[in-house]
Structure 1
């Protein structure tokens, strides 16, 4: 109920129309630029979107952004989620299904970096656009990318911890998520670069799918081994559970919590003081950009290779000023799953 109450309050700050997401200040092919999507597609192209799962509000936001931009541009959309990072075969089967349905273009948030390379190579051979969304795909044949580098997300989170600690030597528990996911590898690359010559010691808490039950086990195990950690940095499910566990543990734990990325549950915990901060990669906006990149590719329009919304670190000081429409769907909209129209 508290999440829903916060959700309702946050909606007061949401944009009222989908068109209001642009112009977008972003990194476009590595340069700061103002990004504007096409106003409308020339025909109702059929686009297949593949997501790793729909279990948390991050991917609810992605699905909402895909749906809204497809509606705004007048294209048809199928949205498929595989059920979790432990189900790469399901995502491959869903891709096969969309190929059978002869989708015009694909937007893919991949479970792992190379699991769909064979299918993407065939699509590329046939001139079918494939847009890499959020997670990073390491396959030839990608047309464009709507993606924020999670190395930069991790660096932003670690920089917040370093500022908060005043530069003193601290030990940080690290709970990234699924080991084979591209965004996890990117986050770890960013952390390793940021840790060089610093006063932060990283303590691994292990890998696992980003469902609450798996992450709860990892958090408990980490704190059982390392009860005197100064901070915990982790995926949203790990961070949310860690904040609850630390708060309920009284003086048993001293760790303060930072999330690697933001969801509405993380924002509630920031408001209540359970979590210090979280960077956001604006998943709703990434999804909207991905649809636009797909339409551009289909219509032969000029298109960047990579578009990255700017990272913003959210804490109690700026929570009320943040545009929540970049992060989550409006009240009453949950995970969107829909078959691609034939």
Structure 2
């Protein structure tokens, strides 16, 4: 039952017409309502670099960037590297944007370090670099629009601990690519949430977040640990595991530690138990607004994070899908930086 496209289509037109702000965020540790600029002072040229466009999570990020660029009246290029194994491609795309004379950069980085030198050169030259979603750990980054994935993983583990009512549980863990900052953060959050709990963790290993690799890791994890109570994974791992556990007779309940459209469908259908959302569309909109503010000489917060919300069947009834994904009929946006 593909309920999400029908549901989303019912209000997508009103969503497109409505303003997305004011929006509750945490800005440098303090809660506030975020209000973006009404319009940019000039048609700045901004490059956005994303790790890939293989799933609806990044489709939503690209859509949020594009929508905010149109609202602000700036010119936007959107590039995706093709996967977390293509760090060199993302660096080439950054260099391409520099050569094209971009005024600012919004970067969802493949890892925490490869772009640091290039980013530092640009920020010292007065061209802002905004860290989006994935954590780019470099000195001099102009601002960060992201949620700490440590908090995402912590919220997911706390959900299953509460659900298990203190009984000992065995939890499988499939985080994603080892070098990605968001994966390192998620693992930190999991480690911090473990002490004092009755959780035994079974680590399933690392790999790119494509279906074939994650399917392999899921199969191996369930083979090695057939008595899992819960399996927590990246969205691709969770989506595949939700289908596989029924076929192999596993009793494991599946969660993703971030939400995508596919994961929400599986939550609605009872295949996935729950997932937290980091509101990636909102992160994208905020990142672009921060880039424009920095270009126009404003002092901007160092870190802005939408509030994390845990989504299960009950929570989906009140959740605004426009925070997570594009409307029906919108796919991945890829476009060259306009002149």
TM-score, structure 1 normalization: 0.97
The CA distance in 2 between the partners of 1:211 and 1:237, in whole Å, is: 7
Q: Is the 8 A contact 1:13 1:323 kept in 2?
A: no
| 1:34-113 matches, cutoff 5 A | 34-113=33-112
Partner of 2:310: 313
- Structure 1 window deviating more from structure 2 (179-188 vs 299-308): it is 299-308
The CA distance in 2 between the partners of 1:62 and 1:140, in whole Å, is: 24
Q: What SS does the aligned partner of 1:307 have?
A: strand
Q: Is the 8 A contact 1:7 1:264 kept in 2?
A: no
Partner of 2:203: 204
Q: Which sections of structure 1, spanning at least 5 residues, go unmatched?
A: none
Partner of 1:163: 162
- Structure 1 window deviating more from structure 2 (261-270 vs 161-170): it is 161-170
Partner of 1:8: 6
For the pair 1:218 / 2:217, whether they are aligned, the reply is yes
Q: What SS does the aligned partner of 1:103 have?
A: coil
Q: CA RMSD in A?
A: 1.1
Q: How many residues align?
A: 338
The CA distance in 1 between the partners of 2:118 and 2:298, in whole Å, is: 25
Q: What SS does the aligned partner of 1:254 have?
A: coil
Partner of 2:276: 279
Could you list the structure 1 runs, at least 4 aligned residues long, displaced by more than 6 angstroms after superposition. none
The CA distance in 2 between the partners of 1:244 and 1:18, in whole Å, is: 37
Q: Is the 8 A contact 1:152 1:190 kept in 2?
A: yes
Partner of 1:332: 329
The CA distance in 2 between the partners of 1:19 and 1:86, in whole Å, is: 38
Q: What SS does the aligned partner of 1:12 have?
A: helix
Q: CA offsets per residue over residues 173-231 of structure 1, 9 Å max, x none?
A: 00000000000000000110000121111110010111111100000010011111000
The CA distance in 1 between the partners of 2:205 and 2:284, in whole Å, is: 29
Could you tell me how far 1:11 is from its partner in structure 2? 3.2
Q: Is the 8 A contact 2:64 2:281 kept in 1?
A: yes
| 1:176-215 matches, cutoff 5 A | 176-215=175-214
The CA distance in 2 between the partners of 1:334 and 1:317, in whole Å, is: 28
Q: What SS does the aligned partner of 2:246 have?
A: helix
The CA distance in 2 between the partners of 1:230 and 1:180, in whole Å, is: 28
Q: Is the 8 A contact 2:62 2:333 kept in 1?
A: yes
The CA distance in 1 between the partners of 2:106 and 2:86, in whole Å, is: 18
Could you tell me how far 1:12 is from its partner in structure 2? 2.6
Q: What SS does the aligned partner of 2:338 have?
A: coil
Partner of 2:251: 254
Q: Is the 8 A contact 1:60 1:336 kept in 2?
A: yes
Partner of 2:22: 23
Q: What SS does the aligned partner of 2:197 have?
A: coil
The CA distance in 2 between the partners of 1:149 and 1:215, in whole Å, is: 23
The CA distance in 2 between the partners of 1:248 and 1:43, in whole Å, is: 57
Could you tell me how far 1:9 is from its partner in structure 2? 1.7
Q: CA offsets per residue over residues 58-79 of structure 1, 9 Å max, x none?
A: 0000000000000000000000
Q: CA offsets per residue over residues 303-336 of structure 1, 9 Å max, x none?
A: 2111100000010011121000000001110000
The CA distance in 2 between the partners of 1:93 and 1:144, in whole Å, is: 22
Could you tell me how far 1:284 is from its partner in structure 2? 0.3
Q: What SS does the aligned partner of 1:267 have?
A: helix
Partner of 2:229: 230
Q: Is the 8 A contact 1:13 1:324 kept in 2?
A: no
Q: What SS does the aligned partner of 1:321 have?
A: coil
Partner of 1:135: 134
Q: In structure 2, do the counterparts of structure 1 residues 11 and 241 end up closer, same or farther at CA, with 3 Å as the change threshold?
A: same
For the pair 1:322 / 2:290, whether they are aligned, the reply is no
Partner of 2:172: 173
For the pair 1:297 / 2:289, whether they are aligned, the reply is no
